[in-house]
Amino acid sequence: MARLNEVDLPVPVQRVANLVDALTESLTVGEGYRLFVEGRDLAASLRRQSDSIVLPSRRWHRKLNGRCAACKEITETRDLRATLANTAAASAQLPLAVARLPATVATTEQTNRRVEALIGEADRDLGPTLRDLRQAAGALRALTE
């Protein structure tokens, strides 16, 4: 417990929160967001152009349409947006969780001490009875042999 109390948790937690904030900002307004928008626009442009071009082979046309759809799927997923939102929410909760950690550790140690005391009491209370049962079992074995 003493070693855990010596750990300076607020600094690493703040660094993680800052990193998550920077990533969120990068993906919503920075370079990542710009690439996201360009990818989406590129997919839409490719779809429009592929629809207007008569290709010599229908296979190539289907392949190009499939790739356009895949690009659009990647750049417009709800999962990506949900992941960003969940990451931001989790980073907001991280300092609160870290602040609760010492109290949780103290409660766990207190519970551990109580359980050890209960086990000791049970051993003291049941010890004589178990010895008597062992002796009785030994006596019964001796009688049956």
**By residue range, what is the domain housing residue 45?**
8-144
Residue 110: predicted pLDDT: 92
DSSP alpha helices (H): ranges in 53-77? 58-75
Q: Does residue 82 form part of some domain?
A: yes
Cβ atoms of 46 and 21 within 8 Å: the answer is no
Give CA–CA dist 58/60, Å, rounded. Answer: 5
Q: Does residue 2 form part of some domain?
A: no
Q: Does residue 34 form part of some domain?
A: yes
Q: Does residue 79 form part of some domain?
A: yes
Joined tokens for residue 52: 């207007």
What does the pLDDT average to over 33-44? Answer: 75
What does the pLDDT average to over 32-53? Answer: 74
Query: What's the number of domains the chain is made of?
Result: 1
Residue 7: predicted pLDDT: 63
How would you class 17 by CB atoms within 10 Å of its CB: exposed for 0-12, middle for 13-18, buried for 19 or more? middle
Q: Does residue 3 form part of some domain?
A: no
Q: Does residue 80 form part of some domain?
A: yes
Q: Does residue 1 form part of some domain?
A: no
C-alpha distances in angstroms, 44 versus 5, 27, 71? 55, 20, 9
Q: pLDDT by residue (tens digit) across 63-76?
A: 777 787 776 777 67
> What is the sign, positive or negative, of the torsion defined by CA atoms of 58, 59, 65, 68?
negative
Share of the chain above pLDDT 90, in %: 2
Q: pLDDT by residue (tens digit) across 79-123?
A: 767 776 777 787 788 788 788 888 888 898 999 899 888 888 888
Q: Does residue 52 form part of some domain?
A: yes
Residue 114: predicted pLDDT: 92
